[in-house]
Amino acid sequence: MTAADRDVDDRQVRADRLKERIYVTFTALAVVLALRAHQHIDAGRALFTLLLTVAATLSAVFTADVVAHLVVHERLPTRAEVARALHTVAGGLGAVAVPTVFLLLAVAEVWSVHAALRACTIALIVALVAIAYPAVRRTTLTTTQRVLVLGGEAALGTAVVALQTLAHR
């Protein structure tokens, strides 16, 4: 493998991890917003629901990666390829670290569950931008284009909040 091939491979790994974090963040945002619509949700149930949904999403992503590998390569993935896929999928867990802490604070009764869910919503929208920032920074885009990309991502996250809020009224 040449240095150019390794660079392309490294970029693909980074892109895959970025996609997983964005998928998980949007999924977590949808779940948090749905939980906020419930008047009588307890913190433990909210935390369990979020973590279960994230685990299910990451399991689905891993399964899709394996099936896609089978289709493209017409063989099972090697141990190294499985390890890479697991590493990529595990990267998605970082997207819900802050919301998990907020919900743990609600479980400990430091915060109310509704305050924790509101904080989760804000944190997840901020996370969308924070996740994309390092990737956008490495591109040859102009500063204006970078701001537009990051602003667009924040706008999409905010649109999800608005749509979910309308759906649960």
* Per-residue burial over 108-145, b = 16 or more CB atoms within 10 Å of its CB, e = otherwise: eeebebbebbebbbebbbebbbbbbeebbeeeeeeeee
> Both tokens of residue 64?
């899709």
- pLDDT per residue of the chain (169 residues) written in tens, 0 to 9: 676 666 667 777 788 888 888 889 999 999 999 999 888 899 999 999 999 999 999 999 999 989 999 999 999 999 999 998 888 888 888 889 999 999 999 999 999 999 999 999 999 999 988 988 888 888 888 999 999 999 998 898 888 888 877 776 6
* Structural domain total, the chain: 1
- Cβ burial, residue 56 (10 Å; 0-12/13-18/19+): exposed
pLDDT at 66: 92
Specify whether the CB–CB gap between 65 and 92 falls below 8 A.
Answer: no
- Cα separation of 161 and 49, whole Å? 18
Print the domain residue range for 78. 3-167
- Cα separation of 68 and 54, whole Å? 21
Total-model pTM: 0.84
